[in-house]
Amino acid sequence: MKKLFIILLAVMLLPSVLRAGDAEKRFKTYTVLEKGEWTAGLSFLATSIGSDNSQFLLLVNGLDAQGKLVRVAPAFTYAYKDNASMGLRFSYGKADLSLDNVDLSLLSDDLAISLADMDASFSSWSVAAFHRNYIGLEKSGTVGLFCEFRLAYSGSRLGVGQSAIPLNQIKLCFAPGVVLYIFSFVSVEASVGIADFAYTSSKAVDTGSLSKVSGGVNFNILNCNFGINFHF
């Protein structure tokens, strides 16, 4: 949590530091996104899921799984001033998994389920509000960096055999990234979530009510996003 606090503080102070540097001509930023500009975009991820990143299944711990995940996320943003925007993002993801002989615990050590060579499915949806600050790296404004804060609510369902485990999560996430304009009205971007704070809960007939708070600084390939944006 201490590392997370330091990163959040550094990002909040970044615009002031950059303005001070610009005034003293030590560092100059350029305009990547102009005030009044609207953006419609789509980000996507298609990847394999293994034991190392099974925690993506919303805090299902100890899960030894192999499978594939596909996720798509349309987004809309508005630039309320140069190099600063706010927006909404909607996301849907689905995975088909193959589970080995394991014991897993869901959200707490008190609930354990034994699995033996079973197939499972995972689906999720989310809606997120986010804010971005951009830093232009060159005068033409075709290349830039951005830092994004987003607050998201998601609902998920993990199906294991005949059982279905619903999960809900509220997450605050920090994700830096890079944007590149290939035309004046089209850009591509890549970002990765490196810090988050989340509250996850589950309420099912078989498992009862469970909740867990988590957070920290980490890198996970499943937190990476690649997208294309259209600017108006």
pLDDT score for 198: 87
pLDDT score for 21: 47
Q: How far apart are CA 232 and CA 227, in angstroms?
A: 17
Mean pLDDT for the chain overall: 78
For the chain, 232 residues long, give each residue's pLDDT as a single digit of tens: 555 444 444 545 555 555 544 444 455 789 999 999 999 999 988 877 765 555 445 445 555 667 788 899 999 999 999 999 999 999 999 888 776 655 555 545 555 555 556 677 888 899 999 999 999 998 888 999 999 999 999 998 877 666 777 888 999 999 999 999 999 999 999 999 888 898 988 776 555 677 888 888 877 677 788 999 999 9
Residues recorded for the chain: 232
pLDDT score for 137: 92
8 Å CB contact between 205 and 187: no
Kindly report, residue by residue over 86-137, the tens digit of the pLDDT.
999 999 998 887 766 555 555 455 555 555 566 778 888 999 999 999 999 9
Q: How far is residue 27 from each of residues 24, 31, 132, 135, 136, measured CA to CA in Å?
A: 8, 14, 20, 11, 11
pLDDT score for 161: 66
pLDDT score for 5: 46
pLDDT score for 64: 62
Q: How far apart are CA 165 and CA 160, in angstroms?
A: 8
pLDDT score for 195: 87
